[in-house]
Amino acid sequence: ASVFQSHEEDDRKVRRREKNRVAAQRSRKKQTQKADKLHEEYESLEQENTSLKREIGKLTDEMKHLSEVLKDHEKICPLLHCTMNFVTVPRPDALASCLPR
């Protein structure tokens, strides 16, 4: 009976070892897939970040340009130089002269 029992225990050990090996393979594969997914997400976020930085640069340049245009316009704007305009509603012809054509 002990030879039969020993053989049965060996079979159980072999099956357990095989089951453990398969589970370990599955776990490593899952970790690799997770790492790959994180890497893809990282790459995508890096690209988005680069794109947003470019957009910030363009918008900053546009803001600087528009600020200069406004500063230049304020020097010659009749609405800003007439003190009466702060009290009364500006005349449409005075306003039209300030608007871009």
Calpha distance 64→9 (Å, rounded): 81
Residue 95 · residue 79 · CB < 8 Å: yes
Residue among 83, 76, 81, 77 nearest 95 (CA): 77
CA dihedral 90, 92, 97, 99 (to 10 degrees): 90
Taking only the tens place, the pLDDT of each residue in 35-51 is: 999 999 999 999 999 99
Q: What is the pTM (predicted TM-score) of this model?
A: 0.55
Residue 79 · residue 90 · CB < 8 Å: yes
Taking only the tens place, the pLDDT of each residue in 1-32 is: 566 778 888 999 999 999 999 999 999 999 99
